[in-house]
Amino acid sequence: MNRFKNVSNCPKCGGTELGKGKQSGYAVMYPFNKMSFGSNIEYIICTECGYIIESYVKNPEKFKGSF
């Protein structure tokens, strides 16, 4: 499964050198009403200008029912 396959270039600078990163540790995102669970965040970034093209939480199912 590759949910990033549709991304091919940067909408800001047109750069095609994209990178994939992730945030964890203090940067994890938590569901609003569940303080005990957190999810890492993954990013597709442009390595030319640094623009974050897409971001995803790693475990979206943890956020069900938090709205």
Q: Which residues bind Zn ion (CB under 5 A)?
A: 10, 12-13, 15, 46, 48-49, 51
How far apart CA 10 and CA 2 sit, in angstroms, is: 18
| Residue closer to Zn ion (CB basis): 51 or 63 | 51
| Residue closer to Zn ion (CB basis): 39 or 53 | 53
Contact 20, 59 (CB under 8 A): no
| Smallest gap from residue 63 Cβ to Zn ion (A) | 29
Picking from 4, 7, 36, the residue whose alpha carbon sits closest to that of residue 22 is 4
| Smallest gap from residue 42 Cβ to Zn ion (A) | 18
Two tokens, residue 46: 């442009």
| Residue closer to Zn ion (CB basis): 50 or 65 | 50
